[in-house]
Structure 1
């Protein structure tokens, strides 16, 4: 799943019902079910005899005991919500109905004799429980049953022993509540259908029922063996209101009307899969089919009718079949189903890879040709690539337990960029992703937020512990480590081993040891000598990363852990080169070695981690740093981007110096010196890396005397780039110019954002003029790619008139795609009273959708005029925020800009006051604030003097 992430499921009725195919049978089932639940009376917790030949308590450590192995589920599910309240007739209340009912029959095999069934169930009322011996076709008495709240186990004590290798079934009837505040389990999503006229509030509310089961939420919809290794097939029937559409993992086998209010949709059995991949959507959505079509699999894009009619699903439809075909060819395994649906749900964060029914947030799937930035296509393709890769990595072959989640998420992240490169080759995004991803994840990988890729199984037991594995480590570090391994083995050998791994474990679960086995097999077949497990265990079983130090005068190469007081050693593949040579890769397996090839000859520089294939940072002796930085400035000044140092490594050098400065390995002035060459740099990647790293300086110093000289330096550095990217459409209106490719678009946005953000007068004037033209003419002629940047800086430079203009237009937008741009810009004003008003509006769900509160608070917090306001708002109003708002996430993100002892005290005080129990997040937040305090104290004067000197020269 793209974290972002999510899942779903259904129900079944009994052995007799399984044989019914006529619609009368379904009607009978409904009637029987309603009669059964009408007399619901929960059973009290039983009292056990002091001794028994079979265990009766819950199994240890939150895991199912493993006595029973599920084979198939038959599931009936009936969500009782209304898709449109205004059309409801013959009901006593106009309120939405959020209950669901259903039943499930799970067939299972007993692998170890037991007298007790443990199955997962959470927040469900179970109204009927029956156990059958399928071999003898006889019922088994249920003596006692009760629920364990801590473990989510539903315990069933039986009158007879379940025999080893015996075949049994469990029938349960249940009812539950659909969620409104959280997008997990079976939940309700609301959207506006129709576009109101200006000033009119006529857009009608519409409702969708959708599921999100990853990682442990299937148990909230039906009783099940809710662990990834306990795979089974699912035969699903959904009873839903007439006029709605029910979608599931597999294609429809039957659809019939059963009375004036209800219809029933039956689906073909699924492939063998984990419970977290089961999914449902019930809606009034419409669809468009992927074009070009896949030779065998039908790909449909589902969304709100208005979005489909407006063509917002067309871009997704244009790439869906291509990407699926690409992955089939790359993995040499056909997608095993006849259809795959891609569904856009308004409040879904990210996307979820349910097998055959991928559910996305609208931002991850829909593209408005007229209003969306063309860069939004990159977002969509990245999500598509990630979720489609999951159909093999995660769905076909699943991690055996959540402690090795990276086998799902790391592979999906790594494979994404091959798929994107295949459908959009001109974008050339792989290098940008590698450098930026490396910088992002390394900041986490030596803090208390980190964890080993292969966490210990005992440490990942509870749902909260499982959720914490959905981290940047599993997604990004997992992908980068795989990228490093592919470079070490060669891409061809790596792909061969991966494909053997997929074929060997399809419809099963696997561990990292299984992956190493098949990669090793490929290495041997291709004549290689790398010991895969020996190399990779050092990367997957410990946190942190190596900092490599190369002394080019002595040839000494050292490695040291990024984690303080750690003496662990990695197997580090190092590929390096010089001005005149490119020696082969070598493996560093100890603390220190001497390599004659790394001794500089005739004053040549040495550059390590060529193409940034390795998951590490590189430091050099001062003489080599001087040579490298001089080379950057010399190349760009004299020959304008002559690629003596490859583009990806120009970005790497900037990122490495800033990372090493944060770690106190090098002086902060070295990192700042590494930005000097940018004055003549005209490529996106180095600028992107520099701007991202300098953002930390702005956060630390935007309220101090450093800010003025820093802004002056940035203006001087970016001015040449700003004029380089200037096009007629950025300083005039109604101009026709050739379209930019994606890297050029990124460069243009970065240049204008940096220029306006550093208050370059020409840029601020351009932004305000374009915004004023819109205000005056009511015709928005601002380039869609630049709207977010232009809106923000025009609102920042303006006053109440500009803010109110944008706010009024926001109120008349129903498209989430466009709302995001407006919400971000509204937080840019420097008027404190407007920022306070904006924060207050965030709590009014009639004005702002619930999931937008986080975005609003953060848009205010990133504004130097709004940081204190956002922090005070969180502390004063947190109890009024909806349940879906992640409070500890807000605290961690806002406090990342804090750098004083008083602010640290306030964070600690608020943690106690608000009873924030997620210790891991708060521990990291406090750790980062403490690091900020120390860093500012140590570096403020040095940084101030450096910026004063550079901005004056």
Structure 2
């Protein structure tokens, strides 16, 4: 090392010292400094669901790395009465709190320096209950309950602490509650003490090491139905106690969900080779919950509609229970046992739970065909992933507003599809072994993307290639796109590949991008179908079909639909693949359909060419392929047609593509028919009634909806007069056709019901009214105190966004009531942008949205990205509309 002159060395040391001091005094809007690290948190809360506020005491045992007079923590809307640090010898040092950032960063300034070593931070405070985040109150039946939702930032609304995933330590939780209420938390209850004044103190066992976002509790007059014990399994020799937590009088409705939970836990234990990680399992059926569910360790919270299903429930609702329950239970390992270090690795939780939930549900309920679900989710994510403003799966998170943005289709569906792709490439058993090794190595701690990828890649004989390919998918945005030709006559047949990023018409993104693509190919070699795979890199590549004995008759470049990429074959080969459509498996038919609809989105096909392809899709057995392209029909009708006569002719012709399938299915459920047929019937009936406005289907649904509403009888609700799979459509058609009397009946039944599914369908019917005065009445329900659950607001007014005639009044309402609506929807207030912008398709529209919401979205969780992507989507719509203007909309002749 070269010597440095003393004066320069002194200057360098002074400069470095200044930087360190400046960094220490700067507000940490991302990860907190590690000057103070908690090792145990003792949390005591005094909670009465009938009161507006609650109080708490937090005692944090911590390690202080170096002497400091500043402690950075988190807390939002907390009124701190007293804060002290207790150091060696019992000395107490006063801490003065101040809110340092709108995100909830707290700065505690010590009266004197806190020495390095062990310290205890004690804080007494009180706070208001939150709005669907933190600890919040619900009143579904006249009684008051408390539920929690800490992820991502709700914990800081409930207690002061170190509110980020990498701070992971045990918790001692004590709840002081009214003596008549039930109190539950993450771990098993250990003691209940009666206190004066009608209170009791409930203590719980010390938890395993957990981050703050997984802490949960519930208080109120809950029913606590006991489920079957989860029997010993593998290395776990003791049973796990299973309970339900439901609003008073609703516990009996949890029989199905509790009865089927043990099978899911056993299947997950078998896959991971690790016992269920916690001391008990409670499933909470929350009467109002903004997410679908939350994977709190040992105390999973679900929307009550997911827990209150039975054998008679609509197919989609039953499948929803299995899929969401398997997802949340998978989190007990992925997320709870092993936790990400920071929010940029949220996909380690959510993508894995999405993939694993589908996998386990598919094992236990094969008739659900969950492999189709993971494929459809990946294809759906490609819409957002085609935006220039899209996120990466492994996206840097530098500001609190970005955290909520990570809970999206890129993290869940794209992430899940990428995992499925690499599992397919590496092999199911080897992939599982990599997952097991990852979990065992990082058990009860934190991990990163690199840790997981290394564990999986180590199972392959192409470790370096797998590692690089995996990272190419998570560390850059976008959808890979392969242009493919087939070269024959020069040795082995070879795929000639060009790789770039898929871009829709009008995109401002660069197509100059490549991935390590795990390519899987199936092809017809002289009547024998063969399959080959390999990792493709670079802008140009050649992929030799090593097994081929002749030039293939057709090539499917995404075998079994396993790959997260799009393709375009040279015209000759695209035509041969179309001709072999019936020989493709069900997943390949779906990705072939996507290759056609995505070509339309990129401008490579005309409107008429897409319309000509739809009858082939509609003939497919699998419903996801049968309805592929329906969105494009809706877009064409709304954006490319302005003449009423032409619109009617277009819709009538479009309906004829799908009418044979609807006639085949009929309106009545058939004994032994598949779940897929039931869901497809529901899809088609809804589209015929709404999108195609088919008079015959509307008349049938109106008749059935009127029966449910009791309009032609005694006025009583007949909820099961229509198959539950069709009830929602029947209700909204009846309200549209029946005007004020039907609206009044639907509103009356809604007010009398506590059934979350029925309430949602009745609200959907009210929101679908096409009468402006009734639509205004529907919107007014949002502000009627105590009427709507907050997670029902979008179910009501979101329907109005689907009707072009209703949108102007809805936009005016959203604009005029923005602050009130954002408070009700928090922390999901960013969705108001989409509600306002639905159907917009011009540069002027984009400018209007951006100017109206720029300031409003600035400090809303997820708001900045939501606004950016909404503006881009509107401009892309405008570009596509301009490019398609004047194109004929010609249907193929039969």
Normalising by structure 1, we get a TM-score of 0.83
> What is the distance in 1 between the residues matched to 2:756 and 2:221?
18
Q: CA deviation at 1:866?
A: 2.2
Equivalent residue runs for 1:297-336 within 5 Å: 297-308=240-251, 311-336=252-277
**Alpha-carbon spacing, 1:483–1:694, altered in 2? closer, same or farther (3 Å):** farther
Per-residue CA deviations over 1:368-392 (Å, capped at 9, x if unaligned) read 666x423211111221111111111
Q: CA deviation at 1:159?
A: 3.0
Q: CA deviation at 1:916?
A: 6.4
Alignment partner of 1:104 is 2:58? yes
1:489 and 1:530 in contact (8 A); partners too: no
1:656 is matched with which residue? 595
Q: CA deviation at 1:55?
A: 8.6
**Alpha-carbon spacing, 1:687–1:810, altered in 2? closer, same or farther (3 Å):** same
Q: CA deviation at 1:260?
A: 3.9
> What is the distance in 1 between the residues matched to 2:286 and 2:65?
41
Q: CA deviation at 1:262?
A: 0.2
1:553 and 1:600 in contact (8 A); partners too: no
Per-residue CA deviations over 1:697-723 (Å, capped at 9, x if unaligned) read 345357655532331222211111011
2:434 and 2:459 in contact (8 A); partners too: yes
> What is the distance in 2 between the residues matched to 1:847 and 1:502?
45
Alignment partner of 1:185 is 2:134? yes
Per-residue CA deviations over 1:744-800 (Å, capped at 9, x if unaligned) read 211221232233332344423322332344432454521112101222333334433
2:236 is matched with which residue? none
Alignment partner of 1:355 is 2:306? no
- Tell me which moved more, 852-861 or 239-248: 852-861
1:714 and 1:754 in contact (8 A); partners too: no
> What is the distance in 2 between the residues matched to 1:808 and 1:703?
38
Q: Secondary structure at the match of 1:689?
A: coil
**Alpha-carbon spacing, 1:879–1:230, altered in 2? closer, same or farther (3 Å):** closer
Equivalent residue runs for 1:206-221 within 5 Å: 206-221=143-158
Alignment partner of 1:593 is 2:541? yes
2:27 and 2:100 in contact (8 A); partners too: no
2:679 and 2:725 in contact (8 A); partners too: no
Q: Secondary structure at the match of 1:312?
A: helix
**Alpha-carbon spacing, 1:933–1:608, altered in 2? closer, same or farther (3 Å):** same
> What is the distance in 2 between the residues matched to 1:55 and 1:212?
32
> What is the distance in 2 between the residues matched to 1:233 and 1:188?
26
> What is the distance in 2 between the residues matched to 1:698 and 1:139?
74
Q: CA deviation at 1:860?
A: 1.2
Unmatched segments (≥5 aa) in structure 2: 1-17, 233-238, 489-494, 504-508
> What is the distance in 2 between the residues matched to 1:301 and 1:625?
53
Equivalent residue runs for 1:761-800 within 5 Å: 761-774=695-708, 775-777=711-713, 778=716, 779=718, 780-800=720-740
2:35 is matched with which residue? 67
Of 84, 91, 94, 1:139 maps to 91
2:95 and 2:108 in contact (8 A); partners too: no
Q: CA RMSD in A?
A: 2.8
Aligned residues: 841
Per-residue CA deviations over 1:614-658 (Å, capped at 9, x if unaligned) read 1111111122222233333xx4xxxxxxxx111112122222221
Per-residue CA deviations over 1:135-187 (Å, capped at 9, x if unaligned) read x4331433755442356123232534522xx22211111111112xx211221
Q: CA deviation at 1:880?
A: 4.6
2:688 is matched with which residue? 755
Q: Secondary structure at the match of 1:227?
A: coil
2:340 is matched with which residue? 399
1:689 is matched with which residue? 628
> What is the distance in 2 between the residues matched to 1:562 and 1:441?
13
> What is the distance in 2 between the residues matched to 1:131 and 1:846?
42
- Tell me which moved more, 263-272 or 206-215: 206-215
Alignment partner of 1:674 is 2:613? yes
Per-residue CA deviations over 1:14-61 (Å, capped at 9, x if unaligned) read xxxxxxxxxxxxxxxxxxxxxxxxxxxxxxxxxxxx999999734655
- Tell me which moved more, 895-904 or 784-793: 895-904
Per-residue CA deviations over 1:444-489 (Å, capped at 9, x if unaligned) read 1132542222223xxx233212222222211111111111111110
Q: CA deviation at 1:688?
A: 3.6
Unmatched segments (≥5 aa) in structure 1: 1-49, 83-96, 193-204, 636-643, 731-736
2:800 and 2:807 in contact (8 A); partners too: yes
1:703 and 1:864 in contact (8 A); partners too: no
Of 105, 110, 116, 1:152 maps to 105
Alignment partner of 1:808 is 2:748? yes
> What is the distance in 2 between the residues matched to 1:258 and 1:739?
58
Equivalent residue runs for 1:362-511 within 5 Å: 362-367=304-309, 372-431=313-372, 433-456=373-396, 460-511=397-448
> What is the distance in 1 between the residues matched to 2:721 and 2:672?
15
Of 151, 172, 181, 2:123 maps to 172
Q: CA deviation at 1:604?
A: 1.9
**Alpha-carbon spacing, 1:274–1:841, altered in 2? closer, same or farther (3 Å):** closer
Per-residue CA deviations over 1:378-411 (Å, capped at 9, x if unaligned) read 1112211111111111111011111111111111
**Alpha-carbon spacing, 1:345–1:909, altered in 2? closer, same or farther (3 Å):** same
- Tell me which moved more, 648-657 or 539-548: 648-657
Alignment partner of 1:231 is 2:168? yes
Q: Secondary structure at the match of 2:639?
A: helix
> What is the distance in 1 between the residues matched to 2:219 and 2:388?
41
> What is the distance in 2 between the residues matched to 1:695 and 1:287?
47
Q: CA deviation at 1:428?
A: 1.5
> What is the distance in 2 between the residues matched to 1:679 and 1:511?
43
> What is the distance in 2 between the residues matched to 1:880 and 1:158?
41
Normalising by structure 2, we get a TM-score of 0.89
2:868 is matched with which residue? 923
